[in-house]
Amino acid sequence: MSKITTLSEFIIERQADFPYASGDLSRLLSDIGIASKIVNQQVNKAGLGDILGAQGSTNVQGEDQQKLDVYADETFIRAFRNGGMVCGIGSEENDKYVAFEKPLCKKGKYVVLFDPLDGSSNIDVNVSIGTIFSIFRRTSSVGDRADVNDFLQKGVKQVAAGYVIYGSSTMLVYTTGYGVNGFTLEPSIGEYCLSHPNMKIPEDGQVYSINEGHLNSMGEGVKAYVDYCKASDAKSNRPYSARYIGSLVADFHRNLIKGGIYIYPATKKAPEGKLRLLYECSPLAFIVEQAGGKASDGYRRIMEIQPSELHQRVPYFIGSTNMVEKAEAFMRKFEPVEA
Ligand code: P6P
């Protein structure tokens, strides 16, 4: 029987990637793994318990909070607060960042930004959903209270990023800047086991993911690119197939494995795009670049964008390098940015 490598074993083995590693990042990644298993337990039975459905409140985005959203948010915050590695968090479900007050936490070297349950509107219809996380080293002094600048960092400053997809199986995929590795939860032993070592996204694909229902409210560059995807051309394997799950983590994960592009551009209703830079776009951009792909706002590399506020939104083009570059060419041609 081939050797199983658990997430914990892998994290410890890879700690050697960081010569001065104290083990704090390793412990933080393990804490995330444990918290996700707790969330997974509730996600898996969402149809049975009373945890299904709307919480009756709305989050800072004005979106109806599903009970599982709130449960997941509280579960991860508890894990970060108790773990002592983290001095503060930013979450989709919380208006402001949370600076932990415990003296132990103030000594934490990291901040975490996360979307506890992305795609949660799909919970009631049993479609895959996900958690996305991004880890930065704090810029404020260890021992002090976290401040806003700890969170408003460019994607290139991330020390780790990852996601959990609660789907037909539960997987945790993450990077620390030394490649991308995927772990599948083995329920019989309750452990994440290495199932997708050294993940690489194909440089081309045949799938485009975009909500074509909004196409009339999108710009000319995006419309031209979608027309290109639909045009027949055997040489470039077009027309492509349209796949849009309505759950970013699920669409991204499929494209990471099979190749493809996901686009959530600026629309009339969402002129800055819908997705949030710090805890959706930036962490997945880190992963896709580590896997050989590309992520931009149609013009600029996502990882180079300087955030100005916690819930900042950006237009988003992410996936196979050749497909993203093709879409960017249409943006430059049909939606040039004023100099
Ligand atoms: P639309 C879910 O709300 C989400 O943030 C992503 O997971 C998903 O890809 C997108 O929004 C769906 O948005 O406007 O197409 O329904």
> How deeply is 235 buried, as exposed, middle or buried, from its count of CB atoms within 10 A (0-12, 13-18, 19+)?
exposed
Query: Is any atom of ligand 1 closer than 6 Å to the C-beta of 61?
Result: no
Calculate how far, in angstroms, residue 246's C-alpha sits from the geometric centre of ligand 1. Answer: 5
Give, in order, the Cα–Cα distances in Å from 287 to each of 50, 155, 162, 201.
35, 11, 7, 10
Atom 14, ligand 1: which residue's CA is nearest? 211
Asked if the domains at 7-196 and 207-334 fall in one CATH topology, the answer is no
Hey, what are 330's tokens? 């249409």
Q: Where are the beta strands (DSSP E) in 12-123?
A: 54-58, 64-66, 86-91, 98-99, 110-118
Give the pLDDT confidence of 315-336 residue by residue, as tens digits: 999 999 999 999 999 999 999 9
Do the beta carbons of residue 110 and residue 87 sit within 8 Å? yes
Ligand 1 and 118: CB distance under 6 A: yes
Rounded to the nearest 10°, the torsion over CA 280, 283, 286, 290 is -100
| 7-196 CATH fold | Fructose-1,6-Bisphosphatase; Chain A, domain 1 (3.30.540)
Q: Sheet of 110-118: strands edge to edge?
A: 98-99, 86-91, 110-118, 129-137, 158-166, 170-175, 180-186, 191-196
* The domain over range 207-334 is classified in CATH as 3.30.365.10: no
Question: Where along the chain do its domains lie?
Answer: 7-196, 207-334
Digits of tens for pLDDT over the chain (339 positions)? Answer: 568 999 999 998 888 777 667 889 999 999 999 999 999 998 887 666 565 666 777 777 776 666 888 999 999 999 999 999 999 999 999 999 999 999 999 999 999 999 999 998 888 888 999 999 999 999 999 999 999 999 999 999 999 999 999 999 999 999 999 999 999 999 999 999 999 999 999 999 999 999 999 999 999 999 999 999 999 999 989 999 999 999 999 999 999 999 999 999 999 999 999 999 999 999 999 999 999 999 999 999 999 999 999 999 999 999 999 999 999 999 999 999 876
Mutate to test the pocket of ligand 1, among 58, 211, 243 (most ligand atoms within 8 A of CB): 211
Q: Which residue among 247, 249, 316 is best mutated to probe the pocket of ligand 1, counting the most ligand atoms within 8 A of its Cβ?
A: 247
